Structure 1
Amino acid sequence: MPVDLGTSRRAGFTVVALGYLVAGLAAWAVLATSGSNPLLRTLEADLAATGVIFGLSLIVRNASLYDAYWSIAPPLIVMGWVWLLTDGLTARQAVVLLLVVAWAIRLTANWARGWRGLAHEDWRYVQLREQRPPWLPFWLVSLLGIQLMPTLIVFAGLLAVWPAATVTDRPWRWLDVVAVVVTAGAIVLETVADRQMSRFTRDPAHRGQVIDRGLWRYSRHPNYVGEIGFWWGLWLFGLAAAPDWWWTIAGPIAMTALFAFISVPLMDRRSLQRRPAYAEHMRRVPALLPLPGRHA
């Protein structure tokens, strides 16, 4: 019996797995043949892998093939830095690795649960495809906006992890403790927010309603707050390892801007279209950080 690649989740995940394997091999080839600067080589490998995923997304006509890259690439990059560029494993390196891997597993599993196969493309990409100017080809929108921009922003966020992963002569400091609290707390925040949303949407009695309980009572997007906090926590690790790398604060700033000025407005507009009561919810509940006296 023939398998419908568009509707079969197993076939879809097989295509994704094979595509990411090829992307990993492309990245490894770049690492083995490019210049001597390891940080620049990592960026080139990252872009090469993104190019492979982009090419595959064109073949299957689904830009969502890139979505898992957001969470799969960072732990591989950090593991490569630690294992290939240093001898031994310091406490800071071990903790950073553990937290990045935990974040990646949770986020990738969350994506996998919601992805229905190659016929399922993120509604934001569908909207971009339909609303783009006629003169602008969608492949260019996908390359620059959906895939290349997130790759560069995530790499900017990982710049702070570079000193945390490669500097081994600076002992564990009080700032490392703060970094653990912020990073681990952010992961827990994302996890709790996602579970609360999942329980709410699974209940048929809540169909068409706006979630206003748990963490969602104090923030319209507590999962985004957790994601932003994760990248700020990684920057604190980098600052503890090498204070002169303070300028990598550009990474978490870019990540904050991405969520605050792109993701939040998109999600809010989507919710307004689907739930008229969301307008009142927006008036009472802040987008990200909870404010005194302003919650549902």
Structure 2
Amino acid sequence: MTYRIGGNLAGSTRPAGFTVVTLAYVLAGLAAWAVVAALDSHGLLLTLYADLAATFVVFAASMLVANASLYDPYWSVAPAVIVIAWVSSTPPLTGRQVAVLALVLIWSIRLTTNWALSWRGLSHEDWRYVQLRDQRRPGVPWWLINLVGIQLMPTLVVFAGLLAVWPATTVTGRPWNVLDIAAVVVTAGAILLETTADRQLHRFAGDPANRGAIIDRGLWRHSRHPNYLGEITFWWGMWLFGLAAAPDWWWTIIGPVTMVLLFTFVSVPMMDRRSLIRRPAYAEHMRRVPALLPRPSGFRSGG
């Protein structure tokens, strides 16, 4: 049986697709709320259970409409909801909580908007999911890959990143300090880096003269994936906030380290392989331009 992206709704309009996404996320939110209301557990564990419940609802919706991209905005929407809930549980607001909340909301709105501008509707599914479905081993059901690889794994990775945000938003005994200042600088810089990279990429891709070409200007001159570098750096900033609030929570470094591993060993290789197939000259580009961290010499010589 041929898989048809979007199923019976493949021919629906783009607004109809966003309506389906919105409905799925409302139901996911209700499922998360039901878990919180029904269970009596530590706040961090309770958040995890609610997060997983919401993920299963989005997964079910993605299978119902035959489009795994319904999960895509979850990466940026769920953290904002979680941080709002955590901050609301410990009034009155501290300067650290305000800073974390503001930065997370800016990051969330920007990243979600970026997804919304690029998603064309229920007939449009991220190319990585199409590749995973087409290249899966015989006998491995698509629903399992969708659930574990596309939805559960990112949910757990993001939750690992949020571990440091828990003390940053719920531990209020330590006053604002130099680590908070460093966290603001790192996190705001990460958002600016990611935003600039995305704008440069969209401007480049939108110019018909660049069709088939490789972007090697602006930030992309020094890093093959500056947008990924910005995303990774954002989570290091969140960890610094957690360290400022509760130094004994240093172990939450597993969050940003997990992000580094995800992008280094999964996201970057997938993007590079795709670019190599579509643009033969990309092999030379890979030799000249590092994947994530720019070479200091590159800035001196590249201008």
- TM-score of Structure 1 vs Structure 2, range by shorter chain: over 0.9
Q: 1:205 corresponds to which residue?
A: 209
Compute the displacement of 1:45 (Å). 0.2
Residue 296 of structure 2 aligns to a residue in which SS? coil
Q: 1:132 corresponds to which residue?
A: 136
1:38 paired to 2:46 = no
1:241 paired to 2:245 = yes
Q: 1:71 corresponds to which residue?
A: 76
Q: Give the one of 56, 59, 74 matched to 1:54.
A: 59
Compute the displacement of 1:276 (Å). 1.1
* Paired positions, count: 293
Residue correspondence of structure 1 range 173-188 to structure 2 within 5 A: 173-188=177-192
- Structure 1 contact 284–294 (Cα < 8 Å) conserved: no
Counterpart amino acid of residue 70 in structure 2: L
Counterpart amino acid of residue 134 in structure 2: E
Q: Give the one of 7, 10, 13 matched to 1:8.
A: 13
1:18 paired to 2:26 = no
> 1:148-175 CA distances to partner (integer Å, 9 max, x unpaired)?
0000010000000000000111100001
Q: 1:27 corresponds to which residue?
A: 32
1:251–1:4: structure 2 CA closer, same or farther, 3 Å change rule?
closer
* Unaligned segments of structure 2, at least 5 residues: 1-7
Quick one: distance in 2 between partners of 1:43 and 1:6?
Answer: 36
**TM-score of the two chains, using structure 1 as the length reference:** 0.97
Quick one: distance in 2 between partners of 1:151 and 1:23?
Answer: 13
Of all paired residues, the percent bearing the same amino acid is 70
Quick one: distance in 2 between partners of 1:279 and 1:108?
Answer: 31
Q: 1:169 corresponds to which residue?
A: 173
Q: Give the one of 229, 252, 275 matched to 2:279.
A: 275
What stretches of structure 1 move > 2 A for 4+ residues in a row?
3-7, 292-296
Q: 1:104 corresponds to which residue?
A: 108
> 1:111-143 CA distances to partner (integer Å, 9 max, x unpaired)?
000000001011000001000011100100011
- Structure 1 contact 23–50 (Cα < 8 Å) conserved: yes
> 1:46-84 CA distances to partner (integer Å, 9 max, x unpaired)?
000000000001100111100000000001001101102
> 1:176-213 CA distances to partner (integer Å, 9 max, x unpaired)?
00000000000000000000001101111111100000
Quick one: distance in 1 between partners of 2:246 and 2:296?
Answer: 36
**TM-score of the two chains, using structure 2 as the length reference:** 0.95
Q: Give the one of 291, 295, 299 matched to 1:291.
A: 295
Q: 1:193 corresponds to which residue?
A: 197
Kindly report the root-mean-square deviation, in angstroms, between the aligned alpha carbons of the 2 structures: 1.2
> 1:4-39 CA distances to partner (integer Å, 9 max, x unpaired)?
654411000000000000000000000011123111
1:138–1:5: structure 2 CA closer, same or farther, 3 Å change rule?
closer
Quick one: distance in 1 between partners of 2:188 and 2:282?
Answer: 31
Q: Give the one of 262, 265, 269 matched to 2:266.
A: 262
Quick one: distance in 2 between partners of 1:36 and 1:101?
Answer: 27
Q: Give the one of 229, 235, 241 matched to 2:233.
A: 229
* Unaligned segments of structure 1, at least 5 residues: none
Q: 2:117 corresponds to which residue?
A: 113
Quick one: distance in 2 between partners of 1:148 and 1:6?
Answer: 28
1:89 paired to 2:93 = yes
Quick one: distance in 1 between partners of 2:95 and 2:11?
Answer: 45
